[in-house]
């Protein structure tokens, strides 16, 4: 699946009129773990696409205000009943792994939500929203900046709901 960003990142108030589907709005505004929401209605599966230190976009570094030399990019697809429901990309600077929480560097096929919502050490600092497209559809996504012990990382989720 090849997605390209279709709009700039904005606050929810700026995009809410464009999101006419209440189901998509509910996903965008979900406060709890996306994996738990999928598991409540379907058989959950996570496909690990990438989980390695790699070059990331300058805009991703700027969002988390990091100039770290080593940054881990983790990409996954979350499935419900074998239907792709969410594409997620997590950006984790190495100092966040080394000094914030080492578990962030060794998630493997475990969902990030398993630790993000179970430990009271994370602070959600900002959430922004944008639309994405492939050849046939427009999708909506969100990106959140978190910190753990003062060290930043981000989680972007694109909801593949039509």
Ranges of each domain in the chain:
4-159
Residue given tokens 């709901």 in the structure block: 161
Q: Give this prediction's pTM.
A: 0.95
Q: Could you read off the pLDDT tens digit of each residue along the chain, which spans 162 residues? A: 689 999 999 999 999 999 989 999 999 999 999 999 999 999 999 999 999 999 999 999 999 999 999 999 999 999 999 999 999 999 999 999 999 999 999 999 999 988 998 778 999 999 999 999 998 899 999 999 999 999 999 999 999 987
Which residues, in sequence order, are CB contacts of 40 under 8 Å at separation 6+? none
Res 20: pLDDT: 86
Into which CATH architecture does domain 4-159 fall? Answer: 3-Layer(aba) Sandwich (3.40)
Give the C-alpha separation, 8 to 122, whole Å: 26
Helix (H) or strand (E) holding 116: helix 113-116
* Full strand arrangement of the beta sheet holding 122-133: 4-5, 122-133, 138-148, 151-159, 83-93, 71-80, 44-53
Res 1: pLDDT: 66
């Amino acid at each position: 699946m090849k997605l390209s960003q279709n709009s700039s990142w904005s606050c929810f108030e700026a995009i809410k009129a464009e999101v006419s589907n209440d189901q998509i709005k509910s996903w965008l505004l979900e406060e709890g773990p996306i994996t738990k929401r999928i598991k409540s209605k379907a058989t959950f599966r996570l496909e690990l696409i990438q989980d390695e230190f790699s070059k990331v976009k300058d805009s991703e570094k700027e969002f988390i205000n990091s100039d770290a030399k080593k940054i881990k990019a983790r990409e996954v697809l979350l499935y419900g009943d074998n239907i792709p429901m969410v594409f997620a990309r997590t950006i984790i600077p190495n100092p966040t792994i080394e000094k914030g929480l080492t578990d962030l560097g060794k998630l493997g096929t475990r969902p990030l939500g398993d630790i993000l919502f179970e430990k009271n050490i994370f602070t959600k600092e900002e959430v922004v929203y944008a639309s994405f497209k492939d050849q046939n559809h427009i999708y909506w996504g969100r990106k959140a900046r978190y910190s753990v012990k003062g060290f930043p990382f981000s989680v972007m989720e694109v909801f593949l709901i039509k």
